[in-house]
């Protein structure tokens, strides 16, 4: 089915979430919709799938005929089905019963026939779903498979997927993409929404880019990544000149330290970190870098050697002592370990100030929160609950919560899952801290990030720790080898 969107407008109060969007999507194509968080992608898709109505004057035209849809049930009657960004809650029901949801009211499915239909569809797409088992046992990827099957069974000719790759594994993503390509060959129209460049580049036959509610343009292969970034952000963003802010003053001294946990032993690590220096820790997950970082934070005890911070011996001291001496640790699990769900931004800022003994009333608290929100470019208000913010904004909030001054900032995956603009922003803030004399040690699984922002790199492999490697004298290939346990002769 051919889809035409004409002059689509949508206001939410003062927010103009879709501004005069016009888009033509040929039957059987895989159309990408790309844009950073808040660009208006989900709004546009909800309009096309009947969940919300566009402002008057907007038009949706299917195979040349204007249509009006008041609900998702209307939309599916026209052949439009949508997989949502936040998987709709599945009650604890059998897969088969879920599959039959949404069939027209008077239709009493014959269980045996339904089971046959289900199995035939599942087989066609290579989905290994048992119709008799329960939905709550499924992974996010399997729920997507089930939802795709359900929508096809209801007669979808247009399938909209809103950020479907967020919660699934790489293998599930590959499978999903293969399924979508197969559906497109059967002339199902696919609309694929994402803020991830690599996803749209590998899947879509054309990509529409939204920015701040507007359609800024469309691209076709061969895709040029820089062009996408320029369209998404309205300016050419580069990772910037590499600059070292390392000073001469010694911040952290690790003298022959040894560490142990249930799985790993790390022996004899020596390291001197200077003020303003950035050390990147590379390695497969669980190779010892997390244990090493926790030791630098006082969260894991050393079993040998000494840790000194600015000349003071902190060996064997607790996290609270490390913190008092100017070490802050931002763990990977933002909502579990670093932020407090249920509290709003203002409350977070007030709590973070309290150790300094400053008494803060509501008005002063709001003022403080507003200042920090502005300074850190956080999309949210003082009274926004922390869990309502996007990942990038939670990460900005965490940075805004770091105490001042700090000797050492420890970060686990500081930019994982964030769009490139947020990555650049977060590093600009960290580099400001470096300029003020804080040393930074961070873990990342993104080798480009490690190379771009580190002065020196430690590679971890099964508890082995490399000599510090000068980031300007190595590359992704070499780091990749070391991470995989190869080529260690010169670095061990």
Contacts to ligand ADP by CB under 6 A = 12, 15, 17, 35, 37-43
For the CB of residue 98, give the shortest distance to Mg ion in the complex, in Å.
Answer: 24
- In terms of CB distance, is 103 or 216 closer to ligand ADP? 216
Closest CA to 464 of 437, 432, 433, 486: 486
For the CB of residue 388, give the shortest distance to Mg ion in the complex, in Å.
Answer: 14
For the CB of residue 395, give the shortest distance to ligand ADP in the complex, in Å.
Answer: 16
Percent helix / strand / coil, the chain, rounded to 5: 35, 25, 40
Selected range binding Mg ion among 46-54, 85-93, 367-375, 397-405, rule: CB under 5 A: 85-93
Task: Outline where 305-377 has alpha helix (H).
Answer: 319-324, 345-353, 362-375
- In terms of CB distance, is 51 or 488 closer to ligand ADP? 51
Give the number of other Cβ atoms within 10 Å of residue 19's Cβ.
16
Q: Which residue is nearest to Mg ion (CB)?
A: 42
Report if residue 407 touches Mg ion, rule: CB under 5 A: no
- In terms of CB distance, is 15 or 476 closer to ligand ADP? 15
Q: CA-CA distance, 465 to 151, in Å (whole number)?
A: 51
Q: Which listed option, Mg ion, ligand ADP, none, makes contact with residue 35 (CB within 5 to 8 Å by class)? A: ligand ADP
Beta bridge partners of 461: 464
Beta bridge partners of 306: 255
For the CB of residue 36, give the shortest distance to Mg ion in the complex, in Å.
Answer: 10
Q: Which listed option, Mg ion, ligand ADP, none, makes contact with residue 161 (CB within 5 to 8 Å by class)? A: none
- In terms of CB distance, is 85 or 244 closer to Mg ion? 85
Q: Which listed option, ligand ADP, Mg ion, none, makes contact with residue 143 (CB within 5 to 8 Å by class)? A: none
- In terms of CB distance, is 16 or 94 closer to ligand ADP? 16
For the CB of residue 378, give the shortest distance to ligand ADP in the complex, in Å.
Answer: 13
Q: Which listed option, Mg ion, ligand ADP, none, makes contact with residue 166 (CB within 5 to 8 Å by class)? A: none
**Contact present, 184 and 30 (Cβ < 8 Å):** yes
Phi-psi bin for 428: left (phi > 0), alpha (psi -120 to 50), beta? alpha
For the CB of residue 394, give the shortest distance to Mg ion in the complex, in Å.
Answer: 16
Task: Outline where 376-475 has alpha helix (H).
Answer: 391-400, 420-435, 447-453
* SS3 at position 189: strand
Closest CA to 37 of 419, 429, 424: 419
Closest CA to 405 of 436, 383, 426: 436
For the CB of residue 394, give the shortest distance to ligand ADP in the complex, in Å.
Answer: 15
Residue positions counted in the chain:
492
Q: Which listed option, ligand ADP, Mg ion, none, makes contact with residue 256 (CB within 5 to 8 Å by class)? A: none
Mutual orientation of helices 345-353 and 391-400 as an angle, nearest 10°?
A: 20
Residues 18, 29, 31, 42: which binds Mg ion (CB under 5 A)? 42
**Contact present, 192 and 179 (Cβ < 8 Å):** no
**Contact present, 256 and 270 (Cβ < 8 Å):** yes
- In terms of CB distance, is 53 or 85 closer to Mg ion? 85
- In terms of CB distance, is 16 or 265 closer to ligand ADP? 16
Pairing of strands 214-219, 278-282: unpaired
Q: Which listed option, ligand ADP, Mg ion, none, makes contact with residue 333 (CB within 5 to 8 Å by class)? A: none
For the CB of residue 73, give the shortest distance to ligand ADP in the complex, in Å.
Answer: 20
- In terms of CB distance, is 36 or 449 closer to ligand ADP? 36
Q: CA-CA distance, 364 to 361, in Å (whole number)?
A: 5
Chain residues in the site for Mg ion (CB under 5 A): 42, 85
């Amino acid at each position: 089915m051919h889809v035409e969107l004409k002059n689509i407008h949508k206001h939410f109060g003062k927010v103009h979430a879709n501004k005069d969007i016009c888009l033509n999507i040929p039957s059987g194509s895989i159309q990408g919709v790309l844009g950073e968080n808040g660009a208006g992608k989900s709004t546009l898709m909800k309009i096309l799938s009947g969940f919300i109505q566009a402002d008057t004057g907007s038009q949706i035209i299917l195979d040349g005929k204007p249509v009006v849809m008041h609900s998702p049930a209307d939309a599916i009657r026209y052949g439009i089905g949508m997989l949502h960004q936040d998987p709709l809650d599945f009650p604890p029901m059998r897969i088969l019963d879920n599959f039959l949801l949404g069939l027209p009211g008077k239709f009493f499915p014959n269980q045996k026939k339904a089971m046959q239909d289900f199995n035939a569809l599942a087989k066609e797409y290579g989905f290994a779903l048992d119709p008799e088992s329960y939905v709550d046992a499924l992974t996010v990827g399997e729920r997507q498979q089930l939802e795709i099957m359900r929508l096809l069974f209801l007669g979808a000719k247009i399938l909209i997927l809103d950020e479907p790759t967020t919660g699934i594994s790489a293998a599930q993503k590959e499978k999903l993409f293969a399924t979508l390509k197969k559906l497109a060959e059967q002339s199902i129209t696919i609309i694929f929404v994402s803020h991830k460049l690599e996803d749209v580049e590998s899947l879509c036959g054309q990509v529409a880019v939204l920015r701040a509610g507007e359609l800024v343009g469309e691209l076709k292969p061969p895709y040029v990544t820089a062009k996408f970034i320029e369209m998404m952000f309205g300016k050419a963003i580069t990772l910037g000149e590499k600059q070292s802010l390392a000073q001469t003053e010694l911040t952290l001294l690790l003298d022959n330290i040894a560490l142990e946990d249930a799985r790993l032993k790390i022996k004899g690590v020596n390291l001197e970190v200077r003020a303003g220096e950035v050390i990147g820790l590379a390695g497969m997950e669980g190779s010892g870098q997390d244990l090493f970082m926790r030791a630098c934070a006082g969260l894991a005890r050393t079993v040998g050697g000494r840790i000194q911070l600015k000349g003071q011996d902190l060996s064997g001291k607790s996290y609270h002592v490390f913190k008092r001496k100017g070490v802050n640790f931002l763990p990977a699990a933002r909502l579990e370990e670093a932020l407090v769900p249920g509290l709003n931004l203002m409350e977070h800022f007030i709590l973070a100030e309290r150790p300094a003994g400053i008494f803060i009333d509501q008005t002063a608290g709001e003022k403080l929160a507003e200042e920090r929100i502005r300074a850190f470019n956080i999309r949210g208000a003082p009274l926004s609950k922390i869990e309502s913010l996007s990942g990038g904004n939670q990460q900005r909030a965490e940075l805004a919560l770091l105490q001042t001054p700090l000797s050492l900032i420890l970060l686990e995956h500081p930019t994982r899952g964030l769009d490139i603009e947020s990555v650049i922003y977060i590093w600009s803030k960290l580099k400001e801290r470096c300029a003020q004399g804080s040393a930074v040690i961070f873990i990342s699984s993104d080798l480009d990030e490690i190379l771009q922002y580190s002065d020196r790199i430690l590679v971890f492999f099964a508890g082995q720790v490399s000599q510090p490697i000068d980031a300007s004298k190595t590359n992704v290939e070499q780091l990749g080898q070391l991470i995989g346990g190869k080529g260690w002769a010169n670095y061990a």
